[in-house]
Structure 1
Amino acid sequence: MSTTGLPAPARGLGALLDAVSGARMAATVATLAGGPFTGRRVGTAGGAAARAWLDRHLRDLGAAVTLEPFTAPRVPEVYAAPAVEWHDGTAHRRLGFGREVAVHLASADQPLVRRGELAVAGAGDPTGRWLLVPAGMPLADAYGHAHGALGLLVGRRVDAEGWHYTMLAGPDPGPLPVLTLDTATHAAVRPGGWFAANTPIRRVDAPAANVHARWRTAEPGRPDLLLTAHYDGVGDHPGLRQPGAADNGSGVAVALEAARVLAGAGALPGGAGLSVALLDGEEAGAVGSTRHAARLRRAGAAPLVVNVDGAGHLDRAAAVEAGGPAHGLLAALDRAGRHTGLPLAAGPVASDNRRYAAAGLAAVGVGAGMAGYHSPADTADRVVTATLAAVARLVVATGWLVAAADTTVSSLIGDKR
């Protein structure tokens, strides 16, 4: 893919914004959410395949691409669908993985099915029983009531489509098997019957790699723009596809499209630099961005970081979180929002931008919503093309304004909110 379809070298911001293609980004999201990439969990074959695809794509855009390999430690992996059955004394029921039941991150690995009576944590003898943890009881307190128990059953809400959320960053394994039940099932399960289940979850040290692409090195004294997005997802479970379309195929699509537009000859004025970092291991604790930010600081580099995490479904305004010495970058982002007509609001963007900010770099995180968060419902058809286009236009305008620091642009919506 090339940038030959863009206007001539002296193009202005308006022409750059017109060059943003929502259809191209939608196609990128569909590719990244496809079956061959198996949800892109760090350390998996699907994650490696996505990385190879991104490498080729960036080279086709004319970038010099390098990989930064590392290890993401102790990533949780549900390696088999848990077999879960409940008998209430009269009727027998199997619980559906992903909807009615999931494996808690704090669970011990127990591949063998354990069957026993049901009891309530803190009431009666726990020995040889599955214990229902009352709502509001911390897991640490439940452990104190669970000596000799088979495992713990914790209630947890599900999303609007009825799916449990999958998380990779969280507590270390505890001493017992732990399952989460959706709140309706947790309320229905009561002492008087039996429960049988296993918890096949392990922790693995996962091979990972960031993908770095550079088009131009900043001239002395000129800004260096770094666009970032994590390409990993929470990954498929056995028998459950979790495409990771909005989180964060959409952010990757925006970063690629903004880089495509800004990489054109003459697009960024004044000798500004341009690079992209597509990051691995965000879902496992922002491991990739932590490493990359530290490497930049050791090298004495000080790029201006724009991180996109979720550009799937805009709800009134895009969330913006700034960190580090980001006053100038935030001002450019604000001007870009006014110029492109995208409303911005201060809000949490709990992603890789925080790792760059913690390293002392100017960083802003942008988030514009995601449907089906961390579940099988995060599909490509739910990513809104207009949202992709709006966020990409915002990023392009921000980069152009950073590079053309002395340039004034008119606002399409005025200067008042």
Structure 2
Amino acid sequence: MTAPSESAAHLDAILPLVSAERMACTVTALASAEFTGRRVGTAGGAAARAWLVAHLADLGAMVDTDDFPVRAVPELYAAPTVVWGEGATSTRLTFGREVAVHCASADTSEVRRGPLGVADSGDPTGRWLVVPTGMHLSDAARAASGAAGLLVSRAVDADGWQYTLLAGPDPGPLPILTLDASTHRAALAAATGAGWWSANTPLHRRDVTGANIHARFPAAEPGGIEVLLTAHYDGVGDHPGLRQPGASDNASGVAVVLEAARILTAARPAGLGLAVALLDAEEVGALGSAHHSQQLHVGDVRPLIINVDGAGLLDQAAAVEAGGPAHALLALLDQAGRHTGLPLAAGPVASDNRRYAAVGLAAVGVGAGMAGYHSPADTPDRVDPHTLDAIARLVVATVRLAASAPATDSSST
């Protein structure tokens, strides 16, 4: 066991090796058009996986991949055509901003035209029904037999984009479109007059194969500490004619984990075991970590787990969520935060860390913000290099401090 003062000296020697520039290059690469948003089961996701496997192998790790099934991933196969108006006037809506397809929508490739109506008011037959704000979608659907489709309000981000979701309720029998608040209000007003709507919802669902990436560095000595660094590499994927780079979510987290692994492999005590898991299918319900956590649950190795999801834009403090028997790991993280000067705050990190904690493993999720969540605005230029640097230093310091912790500080305690 290393003395505390010696550990601090080792930290001060290796922390300057963290390179924000190198991480920014990783983010730019993963967010490139070549990887098409990295949605699970796509060619872009597979290309990103191959790139990451090569990167980890270059660090000296033993790398393999592990496939698992992913059911019913929603995928737009064309941009929707949406036009509406009152009487003879018409307006075509901009996909991704004024209108998008709800993930619970039925697949309708052909355009449906019909008068506007209000959900749960009057005869719905053949009408596009505007769902009033505050009405639950399921309630609107129950009263919409024979309708052409449903129109619901959705908030847009500061850049005016609607966000993309892949995880959600099962598809219903009707087309469902989401509208920005201004368009929704106008459509609701027009529904009491001569308003009409014309649209399709070209959204199918595919059964695909996801694949986690596992990298193992030389094992710890018997009785040593095992640490697993995780981040999801998948994104929500591009839409037809609409790039969604996934820079902050979660190329930034992957960049942090790769950088931490790079630093730690060159300055790791013999008593510390280090592994990396880059996870697929987080955006469809954290299925990659669900698959991996079950493997760990029935296995012999019970590592301390640090998951990074979103290291794009730090706002005062990094969010930390602890789960499982994580008291010792949380103490190490707190010590690392104080050493590196990064404030930490308890906050929700709704990501893969929860899957590991659910099977009784010590897991913490770390998040440091993101701009352009699930939209075309999630671009590399909006990932803050200082945030990448701060989170990578935190992870490196936490793992390095684990080497001086008692060997009982593991998921089994």
State the TM-score, normalizing by the size of structure 2: 0.94
Higher helix share: 2
CA distance in 1, matches of 2:92, 2:218: 57
Cα deviation, residue 406, structure 1 = 6.3
Alignment-derived partner of residue 17 in structure 1 = 15
Moved more, 325-334 or 120-129: 120-129
SS of equivalent to 2:284: coil
Shift of 1:208: 1.4
CA distance in structure 2 between the aligned counterparts of 1:351 and 1:76, rounded to whole angstroms: 20
Kindly report structure 1 stretches of 4+ aligned residues shifted beyond 6 Å: none
Deviation at 1:194, TM superposition (A): 1.1
CA distance in 2, matches of 1:36, 1:347: 34
Contact 1:33 1:245 in 2 (8 A): yes
Task: State the alpha-carbon separation in 1 of the partners of residues 132 and 248 from structure 2.
Answer: 34
Q: Which runs of 5+ in 2 are unaligned?
A: 1-7, 408-413
Deviation per CA, 1:66-122: give whole Å up to 9, x if none. Answer: 101111111111111001000122421101110000101111111110000001012
Q: Deviations over 1:242-282 (max 9, x none)?
A: 00000000000000000000011xx2225110010000000
For the residue of structure 1 that corresponds to 2:66, the secondary structure is strand
- Structure 2 distance, partners of 1:326, 1:115, is 56
Q: Which moved more, 1:294-303 or 1:316-325?
A: 294-303
Other-structure match for 1:365: 365
Over the residues paired in the alignment, what is the CA RMSD in angstroms? Answer: 1.3
Q: Which of 196, 199, 202 pairs up with 1:200?
A: 202
C-alpha separation between the residues in 2 aligned to 1:130 and 1:37? 36
Question: Mapping of 1:114-263 within 5 angstroms?
Answer: 114-189=112-187, 190-191=190-191, 192-263=194-265
Q: How does 1:375-390 map to 2 (within 5 A)?
A: 375-390=375-390
Following TM superposition, by how much is the alpha carbon of 1:11 offset from its aligned partner in structure 2, in angstroms? 7.6
The equivalent position to 1:45 in structure 2, one of 37, 43, 46, is: 43
For 2:283, what is the secondary structure of its paired residue? coil
Aligned positions of 1:59-98 closer than 5 A: 59-98=57-96
- How many residue pairs were aligned? 396
What is the letter of the counterpart of residue 349 of structure 1?
A: V
| Alpha-carbon distance between aligned partners in 2 of 1:185 and 1:152, rounded to the nearest angstrom | 14
Q: Give TM-score, length-normalised by structure 1.
A: 0.93
Q: Is the 8 A contact 1:242 1:377 kept in 2?
A: yes
Q: For 1:240-389, what aligned pairs fall within 5 Å after superposition?
A: 240-264=242-266, 267-389=267-389
Counterpart residue type for residue 49 of structure 1: A
* Amino-acid identity (%): 68
1:214 partner amino acid: R
Instruction: After TM superposition, give the deviation of residue 300 of structure 1 in Å.
Output: 2.3
SS state at 2:312 partner: coil
CA distance in 1, matches of 2:270, 2:26: 30
Alpha-carbon separation, structure 2, partners of 1:320 and 1:350:
10
Counterpart of 1:278, as a letter, is: L
Uncovered stretches (5+) of structure 1, i.e. residues with no partner: 1-9, 408-417
